[in-house]
Structure 1
Amino acid sequence: MTSKFVRLAGLCGILLAAGQTAPGATPKEIDRAIKAGADHLKTRYNQKPGQGFNGVNEASYGIGPTCLSGLALLEAGTPVDDPAIKTITTLVRDASYTQTQTYQISLSIMYLDRLGDPGDAAIIQMLAARLIVGQTANGGWTYQCIQQVSAETATYLKNSLQQVRLTAGENGKPPKLNADVEKYGQALVAARNQAGATGLSDDNSNTQFAVMAVWMSRKHGAPVEETLDLIEKRFMGAQDQRTGNWPYSGGAGSSGIAPAGSPAMYCAGLLGMATGLARREERRQKADNPAPKQDPAKPNKPNDPFYNPPAGKDPPKKPQARPADARDIVVQRAVAGLGLTIIDQIRAGRGLLVANGGAHGHGDLYFLWSLERVGVTYGLEKIGDIDWYDIGSTALVRSQGADGSWSFGGSYGAEVNTSFAILFLCRSNLARDLSNKVQKDPTSTEMKAGTGPVATDLLPNRPTTPVSATVPVVNLPNPTGDEAIARASLLLKASSSDWAKLLTESRDAKGPIHTRALVVTATHADGDRKAAAREALAERLCRMTPVSLRTMLKASEAELRRGAAVACAMKDDKEHIPDLIDLIADADDSVVRAAKAGLKSLSGKDFGPISGATAAQKTAAATAWRDWYTKQKK
């Protein structure tokens, strides 16, 4: 039975993916969506400031949305000399001298870094100085980074920095810290010290934006090593040991238990940990490839083979993975928890994007961009065995407005949501030097390839439902005293502690009553319980004879037909292929998806149909499957 359970897990993965917004968005559809979204954003910045400019009102909303729009447009391929980009650049540069909020400072750095103009390095250093001072003793940030910037200070900084072009060091080293920025940073530190301790109030939403900005400012000469030390310490110490997640604010403490964070907080912690992995890789590379010692008596002569003998013919050795250290364990635990959370969302029918307005970090576009940054930074094609980009991009393409915008989800507004969506669709890799170092490190190869410890091994105590969740009580009408309905009612009303026991009993006990009880339970349950009841039913039906299964494939209850289809595939008997082909034209989409998943599992082929197919499309797909099967028998 163990091998059948493993096979069921694979089938569940196929069904989860197929049960979302399949068919997946095509590359052409994604490209069209990106272009339409970019065109929408351009309309907000198609006039110069002071000439009827219709972009964001910076006094009301800050420069953050403008920075996000600029990032999205650049990632969508908009050239730097486009009028919209020119307008955004002017706005961001002018506003940078007065920014005091963590989000605005961070996004200004991210935009100017992505713009790639060396003339902005001193401005980036100035903004980074504010982030350095605004970091709390806990290693995070809150909304207010520094106190109000006086008009005198802003004017001084603008006059001092706007014409400065810093020169990069040798061998790609960052430029030196600008003298005026250094004095300004010292003044910020003095002002902070005079005001007292920085405090401990912070949150991981502000922090994840600051983390990216701090890392980006590093290559522009900002002195951020101690800041990065605190970031690593923060996320190493505040992870919830049960779920692998981090709280929105505060730490886990000695118990390892913290208030539950949103799915986006997994991403915030993983981005923070990425900076630790990248710097570890830098240290290892330096240790593995030390600079050659020079003999004073034999000065180096670049073109003299006596002093510089040619390299040997042996190719460089492939770096060997080292034993996972504490950083790797934290990252693997978080990736496992994020994967399980994604699967939970899909099973509950929520998917990755809640079109009617997901809460902050829960199924909104803020979460999608957080997820995209993690996937790109770590080089993960799948998270939790789910193709996060395929599902996310399909949801975005299908939910785009006629004007090219995305205007739902959270309270961010159309401009911010549209920027988040474009950045996701573009798979924007804003910190390439970070992702290159993280992915170069061979230590976490198993985690990236999905061949390391399974999620349940990493998180054995993970709650199967949110701590605050309540189980709905379902009262099934049972005027005849049907034993199967009575058993299903017990299951549906069971407490969390009794649910697993009762479900196992119904899965393993003899008699048709328990089969029908699981069918009724699967029909009326939802979320995790529906998925568990379906799994138990399929496992139970695996014990049935081929004759019994064929009878169940024609049953009136859709859940029984679906369970029988999954069981046919689990039995790994290709004689059931004709039975599954017959279900391709079933009226119930869940049955069709199960039959298709089973056929793909048994044959390695895919002749459709798409999810939500019409009756004609189902018939055509069934014909294609039969034609293929007929050829195989010859």
Structure 2
Amino acid sequence: MSRQAAFLALLAGLAGFARAQENAVTSAQVEQALDRGSRFLKQVQEPGGSWSFRSYQEGSTALVAYALLLAGVPDSDPSIAKAFRFLDGHPPKDTYAVSLHALALCEADPEKHKRRIENSARWLERSQLSNGAWTYHPLARGLAEPAGDHSNTQFAVLGLWAAEKAGVEIAPEVWRKVSEHFREVQNKDGGWSYEGGAGRQDSRYSMTAAALGCLLLARGGEAQAGPECGQALGDETIARGLEALSRLGGARLPGNLYDLYALERVGMFAHRSVAGGVDWYPEGAARLVESQAQNGSWHLYSQEVGTALALLFLAKGSAPLLVSKLHVREGPESRLDDVEGLVRFASAAFERTFAWQSVEWEAPLEEVLVAPVLCINHHEELDIDADKAGWLRRYVRNGGTIVANSCCREFDASFRRWIGLAFPGGELEILEDDHPIYSAHRAIRDPELRFLEGLRWDCRLSVIYSPKDLSYGWATGMNKGDIGGQDARELGANVIAFVVGKPEELDRLRQVELAEEGGPVEPAERGAIPPGAFVPALLVHDGDCNPDPGLGREWLAALPDRLPVQTSADFRQLSPDSSELFNHPFLFLKGHDAFAFAPDHVARLKKHLEAGGFLYAECCCGKKAFDGAFRSFARALFPDRELAVLAPDHEFWRAWEGPLGPVEFTPDSGRPAGKPPFEGIEIGGRLAVVYSPEAVGCAIAGHDRGRCAGVKDREAAFAVYDRLVAYAMSR
């Protein structure tokens, strides 16, 4: 029987295995729900193009059209064209309808509909009450002015915000009055009621969410002339409102679709993954996917309104998170429009809508790591303690990348101290002029713009630092000093492209699994190993034993699609004296630095290999310190055997899917294309030890290859690892 046939026989029956996280909703499920909901709404559209709800025919039609557009229905679709024709013949005349019509037009084609959008914006400006709120209709001359209500007000603010984004100039006075209104009528408990007059009622969840959304948008409108650099934009009113929202909702998802949509707006406008005390998008999306009716609808007031609100939540919140902005100190929050501007520019550059979030030091890493970039920007000197340094280090060890920007010299000095504390022995270095970061999106040809610095940690460029201020250009698109606004944004887009690699593959609902911390995990903390599963054990040693925590997850996640094999989610980290050692036939040994095992550990590993175990060792980035240490370890392990280079026709290379073709190597390797320079030790006619003196796994993890000796291409690295698994498990 051939080795490949033996391998297949051993693994028979495992091919359908899939790992799924309990209660997790996927982006594919959300897309399916959006499609089903859209099809339902198109099916129930009236022949004249409207969707009706009570007497709000214009408003409900605009609401549904807006929801369909956000759900991905193009403006050329007959359902949208019919809806707009209906609204042309029945011009909206109340605040809800005018606001929703503006939102739909802005989403469809803001340039094509600019005149109508501007007309809607002017209608809303004229209809604003003197206290900053809105009611259903413009006030008739001679009538006493009402207090207005916060439901109409929130939709008016949304319509004006969309119009401003579409290029319509909104009077600053409008935003000032909105802001002053909600600050004046905030209840003592931090929440808001439906009306804001003298006889206002108790705080309500939906109106508190509405008020917060309005304040956040008004703050953005007022921030056009706000503070520069990283100066603070403190807001006690918003902070109290967010606390009230969590309290009013009991830190649970709200019970109806109107409140759920209101929560989504708070989460989006506050740039928080957790709002109202809940991880609002994953939890809300899971509930909506589960509760969708068989015909594709949801119900609130009517199926049309309920389905539209559900689609708005699912579609708006699904934008992948691109950046986490770190709130670096207690007290007022740093200005946020730098990241807002960068993410908006990146969305246009990569032709996909992205979002970002604001995070605190104590935020769970699973939440922060959903975005691939952690942005740090401030203008003052800041201290960092050991706990914060450890948090940054764990963030990087789990695959995150820090992108920092120096507004001022005070921050520059303190950030460099941060690096020394968080990454002992690490130091920022100026990146080479030909570094791929300068061509990741568009070529940065001006040598004066190639000033970025970086820290290579965990086999990759883990920290990217600009000693010059880019944040002003990100926020405004305007020049500051010798940095042009457009140049700042282009350089930022290059950084994003370099870090992310494939922005189109980012997923808002990606499940983050953290690498094991603190060395080996005891057996009681692990799940059971299914019989016949491939669960590699990463050997713990004192020479940087897990230099690339993301490798195991990347490799093992892809493995079931390449080989008929059941796997774990990551390596199992084990010391050689672990009672679990002999439960893991495949041992993985990796590192950058010199290491040594105690004699009793060497003896135990030798016993494991002589009993049929397999050891694969890899010199990460081709570092000489690890290479020398491994060769000493191999001599101690088998004094009477030597590492020998595997011949090009060795059966190892044919262990899976025939011979391995020529493999290309990085410039630092300098090797011509061919077989990797593997070496091995045989026992009883089989390879018990395979050693790679250069990196293979770095290509799988997609790291910066400018300073790494090893395999160049990801697919070639997977093909090499396929043979390791097939060879080891077929023996």
Higher helix fraction (1 or 2): 1
Superposition TM-score, scaled by structure 2 size: 0.41
Higher RCO (CA < 8 A, seq sep 6+): 1
Higher strand fraction (1 or 2): 2
Superposition TM-score, scaled by structure 1 size: 0.47
